[in-house]
Amino acid sequence: MYARRRRAYFLLMGGCLFLFVSAWTFVRLWSVPAAVALCVVAMVIPPVAAVVANRRGPDDRWWDDPSGDPQSDAWWDELDGRRDGGRETEP
């Protein structure tokens, strides 16, 4: 999951750099408004890339990783609708 998000982030940011550099290297020779439009599109890509890179997958456990306290973990798993969360819990 992490590798897929990282790859998507770098592809989006690479596309952003490509748009920006090509806008002012090649496209401006034909049309300055088109170059500005490419830069506006390139300006929107970094926030989208950050959202994609930080998106939580369905199997990811980021903020609710086990704390190490079996009683607390069992309580949180019960609240989340998991029986024992795949871990052994003490009675």
Does the predicted TM-score (pTM) go above 0.85? Answer: no
| CA contacts within 13 A on the Cβ side of 70 | 7
Q: Are residues 18 and 46 in the same domain?
A: yes
Total number of domains in the chain: 2
Q: Looking at residue 39, what is its pLDDT? A: 95
Residues 79 and 46 occupy one common structural domain: no
Same domain, 50 and 82: no
Q: Helices marked H in the chain — which ranges?
A: 2-22, 28-30, 32-54, 70-80
Residues 10 and 35 grouped into a single domain: yes
Q: What is the mean pLDDT of each run of 10 residues along the chain (91 residues)?
A: 85 95 93 95 95 77 68 80 58 49
Residues 46 and 89 in one domain: no
